[in-house]
């Protein structure tokens, strides 16, 4: 018995051994990750190597307190895995801890991959040497802030060694007080970022100090088109974005006019996806219970058959022992 247990434990350890200290070639998924994850969550941080990818940031130098702005992380000379997977970070510092944008008071409203986290994973085509990921952020309190970009990835040869790269120069954003007459979106405005395929979407804008609105939209990288805007009331406006027939990201922005200087919002992203596959939990529980009952019944039937066989064997042995020679 002891020997059998030893071999079971050994086999289990061998099954898990390939994953210990190795990278995650399928990625870890979007999330709130600091710079330390650039080595640690792709593989062993002690084995981390420097990526040859060039990471730069682009942003407006001035943002208004509590209002929306955007920051773009650009990656050139892309290096990635056989699957083309590349992880991209937006960070408030490169300290490795407490360096999420939220640690400096930024609020992520959306990113160009359709999520709301500071870390995203993108798939890079073999022919692509440059990619951008854009985050829409709500600015923190008045002050001067730095934002950094970073990437991590494996290798094309499948060795799964962890590579990490970062921006050499941060983007510096001065957050200033909002002028009273500035045409702007309402301070609590947050756009819709997700929808299902085949659904047209009515977007509603809430604004302050705005007299007219022009909305432009495009499929990512496509031609810019203009949407019809309808004035509602109390600084509210609405417009429609057409349905998408395949998974894609539609970007839109608003040009705001009023007594103060005209303003253009960041490009907002609206991602279209297929309806998620759902599981009927009740049916799953019933099926699991039925499987358990069937398994127990089979085990009991097998045990009963074995007991009956043993009894017959013992009876035969007794008859043999009591017989005449």
pLDDT in tens, 53-79: 999 999 999 999 999 999 999 999 988
Of 7-21, 218-232, 266-280, 281-295, the poorest mean pLDDT is in 7-21
- pLDDT above 50 (res 256): yes
Q: State the Cα–Cα distance between residues 252 and 27, nearest whole angstrom.
A: 29
Looking at CATH, the fold of the domain delimited by 24-177 is given as Immunoglobulin-like (2.60.40)
pLDDT digits (tens, 9 = 90+) for 132-175: 999 999 999 999 999 999 998 887 766 657 888 999 999 999 99
- pLDDT above 60 (res 44): no
Confidence at 19, pLDDT banded by 50, 70, 90: very low
* Distances 290 to 22, 66, 68, 131 between C-alpha atoms, Å: 39, 55, 54, 51
Q: What is the three-class DSSP state of 314?
A: helix
pLDDT digits (tens, 9 = 90+) for 78-89: 888 778 889 999
pTM of the model: 0.72
DSSP 63-107: EETTSEEEEEEEEES----TT-EEEEEEES-SSSSS-SGGGGT-E
Q: In what order do the strands lie in the sheet with 236-241?
A: 184-185, 201-208, 236-241, 229-231
pLDDT digits (tens, 9 = 90+) for 178-217: 999 999 999 889 888 888 898 899 999 999 999 999 999 9
Of 31-35, 110-114, 303-307, 321-325, the poorest mean pLDDT is in 321-325
| Other C-beta atoms lying within 10 Å of the C-beta of residue 7 | 9
Please tell me the CATH superfamily of domain 179-276, with its number. Immunoglobulins (2.60.40.10)
Tell which wins on pLDDT, 161 or 312.
Answer: 161
Report domain extents, the chain.
24-177, 179-276
Most confident of 107-111, 271-275, 278-282, 314-318: 107-111
Q: State the Cα–Cα distance between residues 41 and 65, nearest whole angstrom.
A: 34
The reply to whether 179-276 shares the fold of 24-177 is yes
Average pLDDT over residues 262-267: 93
Of 79-88, 231-240, 252-261, the poorest mean pLDDT is in 79-88
- Percent of the chain beyond pLDDT 90? 46
């Amino acid at each position: 018995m002891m020997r059998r247990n030893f071999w079971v434990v050994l086999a289990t350890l061998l099954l898990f051994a390939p994953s210990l200290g190795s990278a995650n070639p399928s990625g870890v998924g979007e999330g709130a990750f600091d710079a330390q994850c650039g080595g640690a969550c792709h593989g062993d941080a002690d084995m981390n190597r420097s990526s040859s990818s060039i990471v730069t940031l682009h942003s407006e130098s001035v943002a208004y307190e509590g209002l929306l702005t955007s920051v773009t992380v650009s990656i050139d000379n892309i290096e990635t895995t056989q699957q083309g997977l590349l992880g991209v970070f937006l960070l408030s510092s490169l300290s490795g801890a407490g360096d999420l944008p939220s640690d400096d008071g930024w609020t992520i409203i959306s990113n160009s991959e359709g999520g709301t986290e500071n870390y995203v994973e993108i798939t890079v085509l073999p022919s692509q040497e440059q990619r951008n990921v854009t985050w829409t952020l709500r600015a923190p309190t008045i002050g001067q802030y730095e934002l950094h970009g970073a990437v991590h990835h494996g290798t094309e040869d499948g060795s799964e060694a962890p590579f990490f790269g970062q921006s050499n120069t941060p983007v510096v954003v001065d957050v200033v007080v909002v002028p009273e007459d500035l045409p702007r979106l309402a301070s609590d405005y947050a756009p819709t970022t997700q929808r299902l395929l085949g659904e047209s979407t009515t977007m509603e804008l809430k604004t302050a100090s705005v007299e007219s609105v022009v909305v432009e939209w495009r499929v990512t990288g496509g031609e810019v088109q203009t949407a019809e805007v309808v004035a509602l009331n109390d600084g509210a406006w609405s417009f429609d974005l057409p349905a998408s027939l395949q998974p894609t990201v539609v970007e839109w922005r608003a040009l705001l006019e009023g007594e103060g200087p005209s303003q253009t919002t960041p490009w907002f992203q609206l991602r279209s996806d297929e309806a998620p596959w759902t599981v009927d939990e009740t049916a799953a529980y019933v099926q699991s219970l039925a499987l358990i009952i069937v398994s127990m019944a089979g085990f009991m039937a097998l045990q009963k058959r074995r007991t009956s066989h043993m009894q017959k064997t013992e009876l035969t042995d007794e008859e043999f022992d009591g017989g005449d020679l």
